[in-house]
């Protein structure tokens, strides 16, 4: 596989195993508002969107409750829900190896700016990323704006960038930005679902990802 100058990572379901927590928090927010929770599958399919777009998609008949649902979700996620959100195995070592071979790393996520900054600090991963974009900085995925902003900021051409994500939303964003995309199956969508957006490859682990992207760099976790 070619060596890209810039590799851009989604966060939820790609760097962090946070899908179960997102599903549970959305369930609890709905219940607190007296609304029937959406199915797990429906919630998984909005992961990657901004929280505002996600709530609007899931609760089309409860527009008057959107602000309350958003606030409730944030409160659940930050203060009440105790579902673990570990990093996927070999994330840190893969990022370190990519950085050591001169690859620029970035994040494009549907999380808020405050949420991403908190998690970057908690996970000690901020040192690996030269730039980040959140739903507070650009239009929600699958619009290409986050990626286009990163390319402009870092002066990287489309053909020298790669987007890595776990959802069809991530793949659609990258396709709209005209950059290569690589799917990971540890989060929301499986390889068959991701293949609908023509990724250059799909992988099931960071060990497989490193084998594709890292040139003769030993990984130690």
Calpha distance 60→48 (Å, rounded)? 18
Cβ-count burial 37-53 (b if 16+ within 10 Å, e if not)? bbeeeebbbbbbbbbeb
Query: If 0-12 CB within 10 Å is exposed, 13-18 middle and 19+ buried, where does residue 121 land?
Result: exposed
Cβ-contact 25, 40 below 8 angstroms = no
> Quick check: bond before 142 cis, omega within 30?
yes
Which tens digit of pLDDT belongs to each residue from 87-96? 999 999 999 9
Which homologous superfamily is 6-17+86-213 in? Answer: HAD superfamily/HAD-like (3.40.50.1000)
**pLDDT tens digits, residue range 148-193?**
999 999 999 999 999 999 999 999 999 999 999 999 999 999 999 9
Query: CATH top-level class for 19-80?
Result: mainly alpha
What per-residue confidence (pLDDT) applies to 217?
36
Its pTM stands at 0.94
Rounded to an integer, what distance in angstroms lies between the CA atom of residue 51 and that of residue 149? 20
Measured in residues, the chain has a length of: 221
Write down the pLDDT at residue 220.
37
What is the torsional sign of CA 5, 183, 136, 158? Answer: positive
Q: CATH 1.10.150 occupies which residues in the chain?
A: 19-80
pLDDT at 214: 87
Listed as ranges, residues in the chain with pLDDT below 70 are: 216-221
pLDDT at site 1: 82
Q: Which of 66, 71, 22 is nearest to 187 (CA)?
A: 22
């Amino acid at each position: 596989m070619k060596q890209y100058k810039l590799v851009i990572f989604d966060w939820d379901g790609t760097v962090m195993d946070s899908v179960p927590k997102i599903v549970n928090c959305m369930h609890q927010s709905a219940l607190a508002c007296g609304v029937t929770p959406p199915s797990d599958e429906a919630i998984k399919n909005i992961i990657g969107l901004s929280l505002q777009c996600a709530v609007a998609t899931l609760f089309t008949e409860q527009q008057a409750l959107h602000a309350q649902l958003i606030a409730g979700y944030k409160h659940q996620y930050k203060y009440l829900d105790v579902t673990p959100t570990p990093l996927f195995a070999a994330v840190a070592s893969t990022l370190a190896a990519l950085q050591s071979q001169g690859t620029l790393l970035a994040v494009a996520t549907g999380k808020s700016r405050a949420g991403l900054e908190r998690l970057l600090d908690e996970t000690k991963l901020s040192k690996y990323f030269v730039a980040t974009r959140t739903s507070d900085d650009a239009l929600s995925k699958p619009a290409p704006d986050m990626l286009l902003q990163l390319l402009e900021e870092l002066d990287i051409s489309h053909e020298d960038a790669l987007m890595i994500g776990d959802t069809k939303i991530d793949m659609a964003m990258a396709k709209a930005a005209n950059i290569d995309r690589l799917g990971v199956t540890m989060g929301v969508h499986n390889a068959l679902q991701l293949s609908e957006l023509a990724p250059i490859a799909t992988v099931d682990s960071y060990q497989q990802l490193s084998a594709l992207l890292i040139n003769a760099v030993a990984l130690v976790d």
